[in-house]
A = this chain, B = another copy of it.
Amino acid sequence: VIAGFGDRVAARVAERSSQLVLGLDPDPARLWPRALELAGGVGDPPAARAAFAVAAHCALVLEAVAEQCVAVKLQVACFERLGAPGWAALAEVVERSRDAGLLVIADAKRGDIDVTATAYAQGFLGEVPTFFGPIPGLGADALTVNPLLGADSLAPFAEAARASGGGLFVLVRTSNPGAADVQDQDLARGGTVSDALGRLVAELGAPGVGDSGLSDIGAVVGATAPGRLQSLRELMPHAVFLLPGVGAQGGRVQDLAPAFAPGRAGGLVAASRGIVNAHRETGGDPAGAARAEAARLRKLAWRLTG
């Protein structure tokens, strides 16, 4: 039997003494200088050079901070926008992240009707059956998904994840101000839209709760709305919370305690620009500054949950 994703997260968090998730959202106009140097010798076309530089940048960041982290969250948009070479770079970064001992979360926020959800799930978590034989997907351990289309749009993702020991993080309450427009709206039957999404997560995740008490279906809950953490935790007692928005977006680790009610692996603290661009605040070389910031965040979260 393959261990469920909840148990895998719990084991990995304990093993690495970290709940920190490195977010990689490389902007090909703002890469670490060393990555641009490395790409200097690569020929045209520009898309191939940019994709090479993006992969090199991610490799450098991983080298600097992977040790401090339990997982990596790859922002798929930042690779996809470079077309086919970008997609190849994404596959390379997935491989490198695994080699560094990290769980790989593809932050793709996909969501679609059943047959299309199956296609996305094949591509990120499973394999694609074709006339020419099966084609392996990206091999992510987990995928972020958008639940606006309802339970039947999430089921194919959950099935694919469960079959491979993988997991999902369902958007429940995102970290941006606009979350108020839809997610924070009160429903006539009581609770907010986010609460209703939280109930979907709890139902979908019920068959996937492992020995650790954690399910393979987690939730994205922004670190920028700590006031929502307590009630969402009550609605989803077994979900691993992926907590983006620390740093650049204003979220603070010390406000996240309710996320960790089910234990140290109950919350995964995601930081992207706060780590990768730390040198812009502190000076020094990018790798050293990133490592110091990652170590600080890791320690902060670990102590909070001790």
Contacts and interface: CB of A to CB of B under 8 A. Distances in A.
Contacts of A28: 128-132, 135
Interface stretch (A58-66, A144-152, A275-283): A144-152
Contact of A128 (B50, B111, B115): B50
A83 B135 contact: yes
Given A77-B119, A84-B85, A87-B87, 12 more contacts: A28-B135, A49-B132, A77-B110, A77-B123, A80-B87, A80-B123, A81-B128, A109-B112, A113-B176, A149-B171, A150-B176, A150-B183
Interface of A: 25, 27-29, 31, 36, 39, 46-47, 49-50, 53, 75, 77-78, 80-88, 91, 109-117, 119-120, 122-123, 128-135, 137-138, 146-154, 171, 174-183, 185-189, 193, 196-197, 200, 249
A29 B49 CA distance: 34
B84 A181 contact: no
B185 A197 contact: no
A272 to B, nearest CB: 9
Given A87-B84, A110-B109, A176-B150, A115 B25 contact: yes
Given A109-B110, A116-B77, A187-B185, A153 B129 contact: no
Nearest to A122: B81
Given A50-B135, A189-B185, A193-B182, A116 B149 contact: no
Given A77-B123, A112-B77, A182-B197, A177 B148 contact: no
Contact of A146 (B111, B150, B152, B176): B111
Contacts of A130: 28-29, 46, 49-50, 53
Contact of A147 (B182, B185, B188): B182
Contacts of A87: 80, 83-84, 86-87
24 contacts: A29-B129, A36-B131, A46-B132, A46-B134, A50-B128, A77-B110, A77-B116, A77-B117, A77-B120, A80-B120, A80-B123, A81-B119, A82-B128, A83-B88, A84-B88, A113-B176, A149-B178, A149-B179, A150-B178, A150-B181, A152-B177, A153-B178, A182-B193, A186-B189
B120 A81 contact: yes
